[in-house]
Structure 1
Amino acid sequence: MDAGIERAERQQPVRLRQSTTAKYRVGDSDKRPWGDWAVLDVGNGYIVKRIRVDPGQRLSLQFHHHRAEDWTVISGKGIVEIAGKPIGVGPGTHVHIPTMATHRISNTGDEVLTFIEIQRGEVLDETDIVRLSDDYGR
């Protein structure tokens, strides 16, 4: 084989799996039975959302196969459950949720609970939510 052809074959670009983050765009938002969310930033392998949980409401008990999450509470108070362990949270509290860990957040206060969520992983969309328990029948 010609050395030039062999060298060209070895230098073919590696094709990377396309990130699914392109499904979200900055400014996307949605109202949910428990409150709402809005996308603040999107990049290759991550999404940043602002999530607001109304007083007395909570997200579904869920886990994700393909992403980890970090939550930082901005305002309000509540309880985060990670792998069955309850953690009281308030402004400035940070929690890390590993891939596959069951989790939820409940607003136990009288004001809206606001937190910033950073999702990191390969699948960053609604298809990677496995709901185990949901107050709203989803």
Structure 2
Amino acid sequence: MVVAEKDAILVADRSRCGDVRKMVEILRSKGRPQAEWHASSHRPWGSYRVLEASDGFQVKRITVAPGGRLSLQKHRHRAEHWVVVRGCARVTVDDTVADYRESEHIFIPLGAIHRLENPGNDDVELIEVQLGSYLGEDDIVRLEDAYHRA
């Protein structure tokens, strides 16, 4: 079996796939982030890839499929900056809904209620920069969700 990631490749005999758990424990003992999270994550609305992460900030590339929409949500510990790099994104920030096109940017203040949608026929891609004291996915407070995760 071969598993390839941006920053690691695993090649192993299929009969030893149970040893992957041991490898994760070794990574965990060395404090490697790969033991805890995957750089790419698929969601019902599309996907994201973590490009860079360090204390106090994280950078992601987010792709939203046509008709996809993220939860109406807020965060307790982070603010976000979004830059549209492809397509047209419909963005809600508190009581304002607006469409943003390539090279336009959006600021999501800490605690603001927000949502990202793709009303078009092509993927929307954006770069998201998260800034805050805690950047885990469990900082999402879902207020409404089309995929029944709220």
Task: Give TM-score, length-normalised by structure 2.
Answer: 0.74
Specify the alignment match of 2:56 in structure 1: 45
Identity over aligned pairs, percent: 44
Q: Offset at 1:103?
A: 0.3
**Which one of the candidate residues 132, 135, 138 is aligned to 2:143?**
132
CA distance in 1, matches of 2:37, 2:45: 21
Is contact 1:23-1:125 (8 Å) kept?
no
**Which one of the candidate residues 115, 132, 137 is aligned to 1:121?**
132
1:89 aligned onto 2:89: no
Specify the alignment match of 2:82 in structure 1: 71
Is contact 1:97-1:103 (8 Å) kept?
yes
**Which one of the candidate residues 33, 51, 60 is aligned to 2:44?**
33
- Matched to 1:115, the amino acid is L
Q: Which has the larger radius of gyration?
A: 1
Runs of 4+ in 1 over 4 A off after TM superposition: 22-27
- Matched to 1:102, the amino acid is I
Q: Which has the higher contact order (CA 8 A, sep 6+)?
A: 1
Is contact 1:78-1:89 (8 Å) kept?
yes
Q: Offset at 1:78?
A: 2.3
CA distance in 1, matches of 2:80, 2:145: 19
CA distance in 2, matches of 1:81, 1:23: 32
Specify the alignment match of 2:123 in structure 1: 112
- Matched to 2:94, the amino acid is A
Q: Offset at 1:56?
A: 0.7
- Matched to 1:98, the amino acid is P
* Structure 1: stretches of 5+ with no match in the other structure: 1-21
1:54 aligned onto 2:65: yes
Query: Per-residue displacement from partner, 1:40-99 (whole Å, max 9, x unpaired)?
Result: 011210000000000011100000010000000000112100002011111011000000
CA distance in 1, matches of 2:57, 2:67: 29
- What is the RMSD of the two structures over their aligned residues, measured on CA atoms? 1.8
